[in-house]
Amino acid sequence: MEKLVHDRRIRFDTWNIDTLTGKSMEIVDVMVRRKINFMCLQETKWTGEKAKELDNSGFKLWYTGKIRSRNGVGIIVDKEWKKNVVDVRRVGDRIIALKLVVGQDTFNVISGYTPQVGLAEHFKVKFWEDLEGVLQDIPQGEKVFLGGDLNGHVGSVARGFEGVHGGFGLGEMNGEGKSILEFSEALDLSIANTWFKKREEHLITYKSGGTCSQIDFFLIRKSDRKYCLNCKVIPGESLTTQHRVLVMDVRIRDRAKRRSPMTLGESRGFGPRGKESWWWNENVQSKVRKF
């Protein structure tokens, strides 16, 4: 069997939408127009721990929430990629993670919503501890794409966090932003939207009155930074009045397999199925059926 390797682009998005109620199909429309495959949502304000097909669009939402009208996170996956989801993990109403098997690679897409600046410190500590627990449980060889409203300012320059911060951020670092940087450094993550030089309008993720800031981020493994093609804000979507769409384009290697030619009804080059199919085991198959 011959492997065919070619590059594909995947587009991720993170967006604090203030509420998901009455907006799900409009969000799907944004995803289609902007060619977004994965949408990490914050402040959905939906309760429950469920998965939901979004009408006849073919897109699917996984979400978690505890109290109506507060917090809640989710991830929408387009119709091409939803079949690759094999596991979901929910932690309270601020963290959700999907695991996908894509060829020989495993992806983890995470949506996170950090407690706001005014909340008590113990809420923030718990969030970062919970998020660390999720990431520590992911094997090192698996890819991580974490999008979220992290409610901190990492500043316009690296200031000792070279390798985490790319030097193209916005504004001044604050305490919450330092927490983001320290967390990323401890877990070998890099902040994708600080690695690309952009006009200020493509850095601002939150705009309210005269306040403009960068508080929404994508975190990826440092080792995968070479696969990140671009990360920027797309202004102009009107579903929310304050938070803006932040997209990240990633290149993946698609290792498709071409069947060996048939000879007298039999394929040449096939051995018995064995450990090379480690990921497509009964456990994974049952999870695919479940999700």
Please indicate, yes or no, if residue 109 is contained in any of the structural domains: yes
| Structural domain boundaries, residue 185 | 2-260+274-290
Please indicate, yes or no, if residue 267 is contained in any of the structural domains: no
Please indicate, yes or no, if residue 182 is contained in any of the structural domains: yes
Per residue in 176-231, pLDDT (tens digit) is 999 999 999 999 999 999 999 999 999 999 999 889 999 999 999 999 999 999 99
Tally of domains within the chain: 1
- Residue 93 to residue 136: CA distance in whole angstroms: 19
Please indicate, yes or no, if residue 269 is contained in any of the structural domains: no
Please indicate, yes or no, if residue 265 is contained in any of the structural domains: no
Please indicate, yes or no, if residue 210 is contained in any of the structural domains: yes
Per residue in 95-133, pLDDT (tens digit) is 999 999 988 899 999 999 999 988 999 999 999 999 999
Provide the 3-class DSSP secondary structure of residue 38: strand
Per residue in 39-87, pLDDT (tens digit) is 999 999 999 999 999 999 999 999 999 998 899 999 999 999 999 999 9
pLDDT score for 271: 37
Q: Which CATH number is 239's domain given?
A: 3.60.10.10
Average pLDDT of the chain, as a whole number:
90
Please indicate, yes or no, if residue 268 is contained in any of the structural domains: no
Bridge partners (DSSP) of residue 27 are: none
pLDDT score for 267: 40
Predicted TM-score (pTM) of the model is: 0.87
